[in-house]
Amino acid sequence: MMERLDARSVLIALHEMEGVGWMTLLRVLGHLTDWATVQDQSAEQLVQLGVRADTAATIRSCLNAGWLAPKLERYRAAGVDIMTIADDDYPFLLERTTTPPWVLYLKGRRELLARPLVGVVGTRTPTVYGHKVAGDMARQFSAAGLCIVSGIARGIDSSAHRSALQEDGGTIAVLGCGIDRIYPPENASLYREVEQRGLIVSEYPYGTPPQAGLFPLRNRIIAGLCPATLVIEGSEKSGSLITARKAVEEGREVYAVPGPITSPKSKGTLQLLRDGEAMIAISAVDIISVYKRRPAVNDREDKNGPAGEKDSEIAELERMPLSPDEARIYRLLSFEPTTIDRLLEASQTNFGHLHAILLSLTLKKRIAQLPGSSYIVI
């Protein structure tokens, strides 16, 4: 009799198969109560779940211990840890995004994912001003105990990673390729340093080359891991704006560093500020102070229940009455999920103002955010 895989191994095996993507996993796992039972499905049954016929045939052929074992051994030999969405220490905030990664490949200090995380992103070709600001602010974040999350790209990302490593907060680099690939190649030494003292994270199996379409997907992980993301320089079509807007979609805070209105490198950040999608950050303290008042949302103990007394500022905030604007938005909500798009239409207010009100109502424990930027009364 063929050796059966446990539920976690089934998920890893499916993720490793060519042709099995995020949506296929959703179709398969969304219809079954136990992931281990995927092994019991015939090709015809998988097709009925929405899986393509050729992909169903691949699953039937490869979903076994003999096929998976050498792949797991390769990761083990390379010092790569594997995290799945079923694991207890899977990041709390990332799990609650609209498209959380089913599997993450990790190299380095896995425990950094439980630290307070802040995203730092920006252009690959920064000005001297942008380079200095990224380095200074990342170093101050790290000194304050915040772990920097970025994409180890050229420019702002690299400055943020290097500066974070100078202090104790640590840094996490999220890749747009397999964890065995280094991109860009000139960041090989930085990759090794982050691997040894920080954490390398990838959603993609071994051997996945860097491709343009994978980087926006990488950006959703950066945004999803962090309560707040800081943008330091970026053009109007910069990838850092994709990260910022993904953070906004997930109801996270976005900060932007202002720059000269004459600089093309500042057009993206100024646009975020003008449109109310980001709050202004003129020093690291602007963001550090917010983290000091916030419970540790990435901590597993905090997720399951209070580990101790609440911060006095948070407790005081919860007792505060609603402002007229907060009361107006609160009346538009119910115990049924309401999307932020519907709230924008019903409230006739701009996005930045609405986002600030929703954040305040959340902190006051009057509402809760659901995946997909929906809100309910609690």
Which domain CATH number covers 156? Answer: 3.40.50.450
* Buried residues in 67-99 as b, exposed as e (16+ CB within 10 A): ebeebbeebeeeebebbbbbeeebbbbbebbeb
- Each residue's pLDDT tens digit, 281-292: 999 998 998 887
Amino acid identity at 284: A
pLDDT at residue 297, rounded to an integer:
52
Task: Report the predicted TM-score, pTM, of the whole model to 2 decimal places.
Answer: 0.77
Q: In what order do the strands lie in the sheet with 81-84?
A: 81-84, 103-108, 199-202, 171-174, 147-150, 117-122, 228-232, 253-256, 279-280
Neighbouring-strand partners of residue 171: 148
How far apart, in whole angstroms, are the C-alpha atoms of residue 200 and residue 193? 10
Is the per-residue pLDDT at 212 higher than 50?
yes
2 within some domain? no
Cα 266 from Cα 260, distance rounded (Å) = 6
Range of the structural domain that residue 40 is part of: 7-77
Answer whether residue 316 shows pLDDT above 50: no
Task: Give the mean model confidence (pLDDT) for residues 342-365.
Answer: 79
Give mean pLDDT, residues 300-315: 41
Q: Up-side HSE of residue 338: CA atoms within 13 Å toward CB?
A: 19
Confidence of residue 4 (pLDDT cuts 50, 70, 90): confident
How would you write 92-151 as a 3-class SS string?
A: HHHHCCCCCCCEEEEEECHHHHHCCEEEEEECCCCCHHHHHHHHHHHHHHHHCCCEEEEC
Contacts of 372 (CB under 8 A, 6+ apart): 98, 339
The DSSP bridge partners found for residue 106 are: 81, 201
- The answer on pLDDT for 197 being more than 90 is yes
Is the pLDDT confidence value at 258 over 70? yes
What is the per-residue pLDDT across 360-370, written as a single tens digit (0 to 9) for each? 787 777 888 77
Q: How many angstroms separate the CA atoms of 270 and 259, rounded?
A: 7
Give the number of other Cβ atoms within 10 Å of residue 235's Cβ.
Answer: 18
Q: Is residue 318 part of a domain?
A: yes
Cα torsion 138, 93, 173, 284 to 10°: value is -10
Whether residue 302 is contained in a domain is answered as no
229 shares a domain with 179 = yes
The residue among 326 and 317 whose pLDDT is bigger is 326
Number of domains in the chain: 3
Mean of per-residue pLDDT scores for the chain: 87
Residues 171 and 65 in one domain: no
270 and 140 share one domain: yes
Confidence tier at 298 by pLDDT (50, 70, 90): low
Does 87 fall in a domain?
no
Distance in angstroms (rounded) separating the CA atoms of residues 351 and 344: 7
pLDDT tier for residue 42 given thresholds of 50, 70 and 90: very high
Q: Do 257 and 133 meet the contact criterion of CB atoms below 8 Å apart?
A: yes
- Does residue 99 lie within any of the structural domains? no
**Mean predicted confidence (pLDDT) in 232-242:** 89
Q: Are 256 and 278 in contact (CB under 8 A)?
A: yes
Residue 75 CA: distances (Å) to CA of 7, 106, 179, 208:
19, 10, 10, 14
pLDDT at residue 300 in the model: 44
Least confident of 3-7, 234-238, 307-311, 318-322: 307-311
Is position 303 within any domain? Answer: no
Matching residue, tokens 């996945």: 208
Kindly state whether residues 163 and 233 are assigned to the same domain. Answer: yes
Q: Tell me the pLDDT tens digit for each residue of 74-124.
A: 999 999 999 998 888 999 899 888 889 999 999 999 999 999 999 999 999
**Do 247 and 206 reside in the same domain of the chain?**
yes
